Amino acid sequence: MPIKIPTLDDRNFDQLLKEGLARIPVHNPEWTNFNKSDPGVTLIEVFSFMTESLLYRANQVPERNRRKFLSLLGMPLQTAASARGIVTLTNDRGPLTTITLNGGLEVSAGKVPFRTQSGLDVLPIEARVYYKRAINNLTETQKEYYRQLYASFFPEDKLDSSTLMMYDTAAFPDPTPASQGVDLTSQDVVDGLWVALLVRSSEKAPNAVTLTRQQIANKTINLGVVPYISDAERLLNTIGQSIPDQATRLQFSIPAGGSLGKDRVPTYRALAVQSDVNVLSLPGIIQITLPDENALKMWDNLDPLDLGVGAFPPALDDTSLDARLVTWLHIVAPSGLQAAIYWLGINAVEVTQGRRITNERLPAATGEPDQTTTLGRTPVIPGSVTLVVSEVSGDTTWTEIDDLISAGPEVPTANPILPPGVAQVNLAPTDVFVLDAEAGLLKFGDGTHGRRPPAGAVLTASYTYSVGAAGNVGIGSINAGPALPSGLKVSNPVSTWGGVDAETQAEAEKQITRYLQHRDRLVTVNDFETITYRTPGADVGRVEVLPAYHPRFSTQFGDAPGLVSLLVIPSFDYLHPDTPEPSKTFLDAICAYLNPRRLVTTELYLCGPEYVPIWISIGIQNQPGLSVAELREQVKAAVYAFLSPLPPFSGLPVEDVITNYSAGAKGWPLTKPVVALELAAVVSRVPGVMAVKNVLLFKGDNAVQQTSIDLQGIQLPRIAGLSVSIGDPLSAAQLGLSSSTPPSGPKPLPIPIIPEECQ
């Protein structure tokens, strides 16, 4: 039976008043007037009111004890995590010059502030991203026409259908929740991405191309890249370090310019690039240094028939764009790697949500041990606090420390280990403080462990605070920058991510018993679940702990000693709302939180689920008088909820999620097959369904019907298509399923499709 917090006294004002009036005949029989006009009754009412207030305060004692126990355990509330994102700066109509901006500039989405993380050159150019999209549906007549048109590019003995690959120039798609970007390793994408650096459309000078080249020569392009990740994973080995991502980067080049040789083969100049992250796995910024003005020129003897052929840049159908072309930036991905790009753009810089408070005056120091002071704005971003203590001897900057027990004494003491004559040096820091980021509380030492701010010292703090989940804003929401130079505009081409609200008091209190069990160490399965759920900066929707199992190499559970695999699923994924996938940043936040809490001998593998696409076709018979459209949507909602990878309580407070976890409700169980008869039972329980005619199951795009689909390891079902019909279900042919695969062959020479109309 659970222990309930006792209520010391639950009597209210009316009950106390009635009890007082009832005692009058016993203790004072001569008092006969009990009306409200009697002064004695008024006194009883006053004392009843005062007693009710005292009882209310007394009942708070158990609750305050719980909070005090929470504080004594050293369990601060998890602070909010700041959202991050990428913004682009444009100079559409300002002066034709490169503007260099410093880092730390504030931009905002309404009342939500963001700060740029680094400086950049804002180049006065436009950029459009294209790729060569293969076309395979030409008729034989069209193929013969292009073979004759480009016959001069091939020896006579090699001119056949395998030597030509027709393509059209496709613009890079705008980022949307449904978009998957462009996969550079796909057979439909020929020779990577091409970024056309263009003169601004507002420039009307006849020599605008030359002037623009002069302005961007030897400058740096900040190229923002957001990858599309479908199988994110992380591995923490036994040493304690995460195995780094593949060190390869995208390769960048521009046309070498000058005159083409007799062989008509274009040459390119490789560019020096710098990036702190692998943009094939994490969103980031690539800094590309451009060459001088002469190296930015295009080929001067380009034949019209050369446009877009082979290694030449794609042919632009719009002649007005071709007249504004400064140069091409060619981007190629290393072979054999996942290289799907969700968004790409120039003049980009990373931003972090937060507002900087500078030189906030705090209450003067008292000189006592264990002093505390509170910052004015919360929650505070850890590591952002700079504290200056001004005393008679001068100003001193104090630093943040994890635990005051590791701080040194304010008065150096003799070390008995050292021999006589050796200088006594205090190696431990003394001018330190501990920060409770959620509460904004600064705590100082007692003199033995950490220095005490002297009495009367002036405390001045500079720090950054966050708004948590409110920083996750949509595309185009960041559109203001009061500190930006005139003529510059700011926007976020992709949604910001990573903002999480601080933990509430109630959530932390319900973690007390679990904290006493795991002591912030990853040992048991319950420890992994509970601690992973408290990860700051990651909204975890589901955790599966798989001991002694590696999803990539194990054949069965328990055959990988020393390894613990964590299958984690976020609560929401705007790209896949029904089947969320963890991103690299999501896994990085969990890695950073779990790494110091795991045993040194435990190898930890984090990954998302492997979704198996399935098609479902359902035929039902409805009850008369019901709306067919509403019933169809209700059936679909029931099937989606039944096959959902997330628990039905996803989105509830953390303590409720963990409580339900103990009951085993975690969404679709691992290794459980999807059975057509079971789906029929789910559909039959939907109100308004009179009968289920049939349920057809298909795995992937395979047209072969299956009665059940087996799932192994970390596989979970993903509904690729769901059809609900009144009467018989739709067949595989009606759903458009096919088992055919496109033929493969040697890589031919890319040839552009000639547009029917000139632009």
Q: What is the pLDDT of residues 556-595, one digit of tens each?
A: 777 788 888 999 999 888 778 888 988 877 888 888 888 8
Max mean pLDDT range (54-68, 362-376, 418-432):
362-376
pLDDT at 485 over 60: yes
pLDDT at 396 over 70: yes
pLDDT at 150 over 90: no
Domain map (residue ranges) of the chain: 13-72, 79-119+349-354+467-502, 124-230+244-346, 357-413+428-465, 505-608, 611-728
Confidence of residue 5 (pLDDT cuts 50, 70, 90): very low
Q: How far apart are CA 24 and CA 41, in angstroms?
A: 10
pLDDT at 659 over 80: no
248 or 321, greater pLDDT: 321
* pLDDT score of 115: 92
Q: Is 595 helix (H, G, I), strand (E, B) or coil?
A: helix
Q: How far apart are CA 370 and CA 444, in angstroms?
A: 5
Max mean pLDDT range (517-526, 561-570, 744-753):
561-570
Least confident of 164-173, 550-559, 593-602: 550-559
pLDDT at 445 over 60: yes
Structure tokens at 341: 């790009």
Strands 610-622 vs 689-699: parallel, antiparallel or unpaired: antiparallel
pLDDT at 155 over 60: no
Interval 344-371 mean pLDDT: 92
Strands 372-374 vs 441-443: parallel, antiparallel or unpaired: antiparallel
* pLDDT score of 654: 43
Confidence of residue 679 (pLDDT cuts 50, 70, 90): very high
Structure tokens at 131: 């790729």
Output the average pLDDT for the chain: 81
Confidence of residue 248 (pLDDT cuts 50, 70, 90): very low
Interval 103-122: pLDDT, tens:
889 999 999 999 999 999 99
Q: Is 321 helix (H, G, I), strand (E, B) or coil?
A: helix
pLDDT at 273 over 90: no
* pLDDT score of 506: 67
pLDDT at 660 over 50: no
161 or 332, greater pLDDT: 332
Q: How far apart are CA 594 and CA 603, in angstroms?
A: 11
Q: Is 633 helix (H, G, I), strand (E, B) or coil?
A: helix
pLDDT at 457 over 90: yes
Q: What percent of the chain has pLDDT over 90?
A: 28
Can you name the residues that pair with 304 across neighbouring β-strands?
none
**E-state strands within 217-324:** 220-227, 233-236, 251-255, 268-270, 273-274, 284-289
Max mean pLDDT range (78-92, 407-421, 674-688):
674-688
Q: Is the entire prediction scored with pTM above 0.75? A: no
* pLDDT score of 477: 93
Interval 295-342: pLDDT, tens:
888 888 877 777 888 888 888 777 788 888 999 999 988 776 778 898
* pLDDT score of 125: 92
Q: Which residues contact 568 (CB under 8 A, 6 or more apart)?
A: 532, 538, 540, 542, 543, 544, 582, 586, 587, 590, 606, 607, 608
Interval 245-256 mean pLDDT: 72
* pLDDT score of 76: 65
Interval 36-55: pLDDT, tens:
788 888 888 888 888 888 77
* pLDDT score of 657: 43
Contact call for residues 438 and 473 (beta carbons, < 8 A): no
Least confident of 112-126, 217-231, 510-524, 733-747: 733-747
Instruction: Name the residue with tokens 């906030």.
Output: 360
**Is the dihedral angle over the CA atoms 427, 430, 434, 440 positive or is it negative?**
negative
Contact call for residues 184 and 341 (beta carbons, < 8 A): yes
Q: How far apart are CA 322 and CA 51, in angstroms?
A: 86
Cis peptide before 379 (omega within 30 of 0): yes
Confidence of residue 246 (pLDDT cuts 50, 70, 90): very low
Q: How far apart are CA 313 and CA 565, in angstroms?
A: 45
617 or 228, greater pLDDT: 617
Interval 194-217: pLDDT, tens:
999 999 988 888 888 999 999 999
Angle (nearest 5°) at CA 335 between 333 and 340: 50
Q: How far apart are CA 73 and CA 80, in angstroms?
A: 21
Cis peptide before 673 (omega within 30 of 0): no
- Kind plus residue range of the DSSP H or E element containing 636: helix 628-642
pLDDT at 131 over 50: yes
* pLDDT score of 353: 92
Q: Is 315 helix (H, G, I), strand (E, B) or coil?
A: coil
* pLDDT score of 658: 43
* pLDDT score of 60: 60
Q: Which residues contact 385 (CB under 8 A, 6 or more apart)?
A: 375, 400, 435, 442, 461, 462, 463
* pLDDT score of 2: 35
Q: How many C-beta atoms surround the C-beta of residue 52 within 10 A?
A: 17
